[in-house]
Amino acid sequence: MGSILLAFALAVLAWVLVVGDLVRRHRPAWHWYLIGYPLTACRVLATWRRVAVLNDLAVSRRPSRGLLGDLVVKGDPLRPVAPRISFPRATRMGLTVAVRLHAGQTPVTYMKAAEAFVHAWKVHAVRVTSPERGLVLLTAMASDPLQQPGLATAPAELLSALIGALETGGAWVMNLRLVPHWLIAGATRSGKSTLLARLITQLATQPVALVGIDCKGGMELGLFAGRLSALATCRREAVAVLSALVVDMQDRMTVCRSAGVRSIWELPDKLRPVPVVVIVDEIAELYLSDGTRESKAEAEQCSTLLLRIGQLGAALGLHLVVAGQRVGSDLGPGVTALRAQLGGRICHRVNDPGTAEMTLGDLNKDAVAVAQSITAQERGVAVCTGPDGGWSRARSHLTPTEEAVATARKYAALTPQLPALAVLEGESK
């Protein structure tokens, strides 16, 4: 009888293991809620005090030394008191723990201890944020949500592009109506070009004019020339295109002033000019100079024209998406002034800390550290800002070049003809 029960128990155990493995592979969220979360929550509660003590998060209510007359008396150390934590709350593929800080503590100490939490709780990563003073939120992720992010869904809106997925599991959306101008930094093979291809395929289907500036001879953006209203392949052409867009911007001002409105979005549909998205690939090529007078003049013109569009374009339907491998003040003072107008920031893996600092440093120091930790194997992974001022790790959806080119060709008939650029094209002929 005993051998029968043992065989039955082993069969049940084998069945549970097989079913558990199938659930883990095909329904990871179910596996997490049923098995992963309870085990991880127990680890958090069981190890919290020890981890807090070892990482200087616990404090003693009174010092272990006392003053007796003129003598300092050393007694037995008091038991450290760990900060109070909430019960771990489950998320889709992780959990969150709220920590009430001791007096005098700052979130910086918890950021330094994040790696210790990872090892103690056996999770992929722990992010530290401070939603309010005196409170720290620890967000643990069971696995890398960006390893195979899939493609989340997002409502289709004009000037809105679904780029990929956020680390939180939500959709990564670039909405140019909410954040008019963007700065994208990334080293070679970091995923920057893939992101631009994804952005173009998303905007190609919309009634939007796309203008490309690619001073590498058009090697990147030239692939999508059929859907571009204009393409500049050198700095001289870039000056001409940007000058024409500034003239167009002034015409839009006149229309808005005559109609008594403050933006083109308040105009009736029949009077509203088409929105324009200017995509600049490799910003350094516009600012670097070989020392000649002509080269310096062109660089200064590009700097001034881009800054004017950045300052005035949002309400007039002109938007900038500026990308580059290196973004630094060494390119000239105009770069820093332009950066101030580019509210949206995306930073892939970069080759130098200065570029990460230039891209994200004026918004959040923690985001800079996370961006610098992106490895060469994490192509497409970036730190991006959101319309609420926060930041998150994200990964763009892999859009093959062939697919992007085919989409541009398919919607080439939607390419708007801008009057200012049409005049420019006629002059070039």
Query: What pTM value is reported for the model?
Result: 0.79
Angle, helices 293-312 vs 333-341, to 10°: value is 20
pLDDT of residue 8 exceeding 70: no
pLDDT in the model for residue 12: 52
Q: Domain residues of the chain, as ranges?
A: 29-60+79-143, 160-428
Is 147 within 8 Å of 289 (Cβ atoms)?
A: no
* 390: its two tokens: 């926060």
Amino acid at 358: M
Q: 160-428 — its CATH code?
A: 3.40.50.300
Amino acid at 374: I
**How far, in Å, CA of 357 to CA of 380, rounded?**
19
pLDDT of residue 364 exceeding 50: yes
* 246: its two tokens: 């500034």
pLDDT in the model for residue 13: 55
pLDDT in the model for residue 334: 84
pLDDT in the model for residue 228: 94
| Higher-pLDDT residue of 329, 424 | 329
354 burial type by CB count under 10 A (0-12 exposed, 13-18 middle, 19+ buried): middle
pLDDT in the model for residue 61: 64
Query: Cβ of 375: how many Cβ atoms within 10 Å?
Result: 8
Enumerate the β-bridge partners of residue 161: 174
**How far, in Å, CA of 128 to CA of 341, rounded?**
28
For tokens 């310096």, what's the residue?
296
- The stretch 120-143 carries a mean pLDDT of 87
382: nearest Cα among 184, 178, 219: 184
166 burial type by CB count under 10 A (0-12 exposed, 13-18 middle, 19+ buried): buried
**Model confidence pLDDT, tens digit, residues 44-72:** 999 999 999 999 898 876 655 555 555 55
Please state which CATH class domain 29-60+79-143 belongs to.
alpha beta
pLDDT in the model for residue 155: 62
| DSSP secondary structure of 108-157 | HHHHHTHHHHHHHHT-SEEEEEEEETTEEEEEEESS-TTSS---------
**How far, in Å, CA of 170 to CA of 408, rounded?**
27
Model confidence band, residue 2 (pLDDT cutoffs 50, 70, 90): low
pLDDT in the model for residue 118: 92
pLDDT in the model for residue 311: 95
